[in-house]
Structure 1
Amino acid sequence: MKTISVLVPTYNEEENVCPLSKAIIGQMESLKEYDYELIFIDNDSHDSTREKIRELCSENTKIKAIFNAKNFGQFNSPYYGILQANGDCVIAMCADFQDPVELIPQYVKAWEEGYKIVLGQKISSKESKMVYRFRQAYYRFMKKHSEIDFLEQVTGSGLYDREFIEVMRKIDDSEPFLRGVVAEMGYNIKLIPYEQPKRRAGKSSNNIFKYYDGAVQSITAYTKIGVRAAVVAGSIFTTLSVISIIATVAYKLLNWDSFSISEYWIQLAILLGTSLQILFIGIVGEYVLDINKHVRKRPLVVESERINFNQN
């Protein structure tokens, strides 16, 4: 009998873990030809999430838990959790019900048809329209400028076959970006369209800084546009500077009375040039920071506790 692992990363999801567990188990028990395990990986929640997960684990040994020693970020924790699962495939889902559990049978059906990766793709959303449009713009930007085939409106929620998980395991990266890994290394992929519902309860831990961090991580890892833009803009302004120097020297030597440059425009040009230099130093700095993160070779997470992993 094949085993399906369902992975749910959590962070301050005390209102969602119990109903989500019930909903997922309901779906898995309807797939009678499969065994299952449900794994919660908690990223150092500060509410009662861990207590509720412990209760669930005590009631059902097929429910397992990994408690991280601290918060290791929104990307490392689920990636690490996938690698710890024992199933023939792993289904990754968010804890807030925005990844509908009703997709599980569709994921499994596509997997049995031979697909190695089956991902949910949002075709619409009941979340904030502004957030959804920003995400659309981000995915289109990545698809256009990345050297790999980035998938639009795919967050990483879906099914991963054991064969691809072994590919993930071989990636020597202390901060892997799952969506990028799928786009770069993934194969035999099927997308399942769905409408993203609103969060069932609680408040999302995502904010503008986390969105920025995720976007920059993917841009620096999978595009060259930042560095190339700096090179192009630098070349243009260097050329204009050389022309300005030549014109100024010619004016001084030939004393062209008809030639004058407003002091206002000179100051504006200096301000613009300096601002662009600072901007592009910051962009290059983001690439350097990304390199620094990837070469440190630190573990994805550090665990503080495991529950039920020694159970059959």
Structure 2
Amino acid sequence: MKTISVVSPCFNEEDNVANCYETVKAIFDEELPGYRREHIFIDNASDDGTVEILRKIAETDPDVKIVVNARNFGVFRSTFNGLRYATGDAVIVMLPVDLQDPPEKIPEFVELWESGYDVVAGARSTREEGFTMRAARGIFYTIVNRLSDVSLEPSVGEFQLIDRKVLKAVLSHNDHHPYIRGIIAACGFRRIIVPYTWRARKSGLSKHNVMALTDQALNAIFAFTRAPMRFCTISGLVIAFGCILFSIVSALLYFIDPVQAPRGTTTIIVSLFFLSGIQMLFIGMLGEYITSIHNQVRGGPIVTEQERINIEGPARDPAVAREELAS
């Protein structure tokens, strides 16, 4: 019997976590009876009743595994760590417990996987959300897709089913701040995209605010493209050429018509403020790369775990995944 693993990150989701478990279990019992279910919940140090609810569920269902983090490490880091515990032949990379990504699509994902696809990616073609959030997400995907070195399909998130060999390739990435959808896209393999409606949250509050979305966008841009530094280089050349041209024109105008030649305090102040702003922008871009490098070379675990339930043995070592992929 093949196993399908489902990874569900959660943080302060006491209103949703039980419903998520029951919904997934019912789908496997009714539509996927020939497959074993492995549901891995990754809790980001919730301070409500989420962990207690999960603990009760795990007591009666050994197919439920739980990892409780020592603090909130963010959804992507905790999910990536959760993938290391997945033992399934195929894995649903992320099914948040708010069920905005429809678990009803899992049987279709499995069917497509069995037909030969290594990656079945869900695409949020329709969103039940306000105009502001739709616009913000649209800008996010536009920026990432235009600047990324890999092909990132618009509206494709982490609600994807990947084959075991794809999981090995994903886990072989030693990234302290993993952008999971980008890593999956960078791995390649045979993929199909399945559109679906991203539903409005029925209860609880979303943990993805504007700052979180901005952080995701910056992480994606600086992790998968050299475009920001290339922009700095090209802009520097253009500004330098413009300054040289301005100097030549100013000198010529001074000899032709001294009255019309640019001069004075205003010109100096505007030029200084413009160049200072450009320099701070470039330093900020360079700082983003340096920060990423600094976090990477510091090493250490991607998350610190406080407790594991229904899990035996250590998490899968990324170095082992890299060796298996190489062989």
For 1:310 and 1:236, locate their aligned partners in 2 and report how far apart those are by CA, in whole Å: 59
Residue ranges of structure 2 left out of the alignment (5+ in a row): 314-327
Range with greater deviation from structure 2 (194-203 or 242-251):
242-251
Q: Determine if contact 2:250/2:261 at 8 Å carries over to the other structure.
A: no
For 2:144 and 2:171, locate their aligned partners in 1 and report how far apart those are by CA, in whole Å: 25
Match of 1:133 in 2: 135
Match of 1:44 in 2: 45
Q: Determine if contact 1:173/1:295 at 8 Å carries over to the other structure.
A: no
Match of 1:58 in 2: 59
For 1:164 and 1:255, locate their aligned partners in 2 and report how far apart those are by CA, in whole Å: 69
Cα separation, partners in 2 of 1:187 and 1:170, compared to 1, 3 Å: same
Q: 2:238 aligns with which of 218, 221, 236?
A: 236
**How far has the Cα of 1:255 moved from its partner?**
9.3
Q: Which amino acid in structure 1 is aligned with residue 284 of structure 2?
A: G
Q: Determine if contact 2:250/2:262 at 8 Å carries over to the other structure.
A: no
For 2:64 and 2:24, locate their aligned partners in 1 and report how far apart those are by CA, in whole Å: 11
Q: 1:278 aligns with which of 257, 277, 280?
A: 280
TM-score (norm. length: structure 1)? 0.93
For 1:255 and 1:86, locate their aligned partners in 2 and report how far apart those are by CA, in whole Å: 79
For 2:85 and 2:218, locate their aligned partners in 1 and report how far apart those are by CA, in whole Å: 27
Q: Does 1:211 align with 2:213?
A: yes
Matches within 5 A, 1:112-127: 112-127=114-129
Deviations 1:48-101 (A, max 9, x none): 111111111112222111111111122111111112111111112111111111
Q: 2:200 aligns with which of 198, 209, 212?
A: 198
Match of 2:170 in 1: 168
Computed over aligned residues only, the root mean square deviation of the Cα atoms, in angstroms, reads 2.0
Match of 2:325 in 1: none
Q: Determine if contact 1:173/1:297 at 8 Å carries over to the other structure.
A: no
Q: Which amino acid in structure 2 is aligned with residue 82 of structure 1?
A: L
Match of 2:88 in 1: 87
For 1:295 and 1:191, locate their aligned partners in 2 and report how far apart those are by CA, in whole Å: 35
Match of 1:296 in 2: 298
Q: Determine if contact 1:174/1:296 at 8 Å carries over to the other structure.
A: no
Q: Does 1:78 align with 2:79?
A: yes
Cα separation, partners in 2 of 1:107 and 1:275, compared to 1, 3 Å: same
**How far has the Cα of 1:296 moved from its partner?**
2.6
Deviations 1:180-222 (A, max 9, x none): 1111113111111101110121001122221111110110111
Deviations 1:239-270 (A, max 9, x none): 22233445566778x59533432533442232
Q: Determine if contact 1:180/1:222 at 8 Å carries over to the other structure.
A: yes
Q: Which amino acid in structure 1 is aligned with residue 96 of structure 2?
A: C
**How far has the Cα of 1:297 moved from its partner?**
2.5
TM-score (norm. length: structure 2)? 0.89
Count of residues paired in the alignment? 310
- Secondary structure of the structure 1 residue equivalent to 2:196: strand
Q: Does 1:10 align with 2:20?
A: no
Q: Determine if contact 2:120/2:162 at 8 Å carries over to the other structure.
A: yes
Q: Does 1:148 align with 2:150?
A: yes
Moved >3 Å (runs of 4+): 243-252
**How far has the Cα of 1:155 moved from its partner?**
1.1
Match of 1:306 in 2: 308
Q: Determine if contact 2:144/2:217 at 8 Å carries over to the other structure.
A: no
For 1:276 and 1:299, locate their aligned partners in 2 and report how far apart those are by CA, in whole Å: 37
Matches within 5 A, 1:260-279: 260-263=261-264, 264-279=266-281
Match of 2:322 in 1: none
- Secondary structure of the structure 2 residue equivalent to 1:120: strand
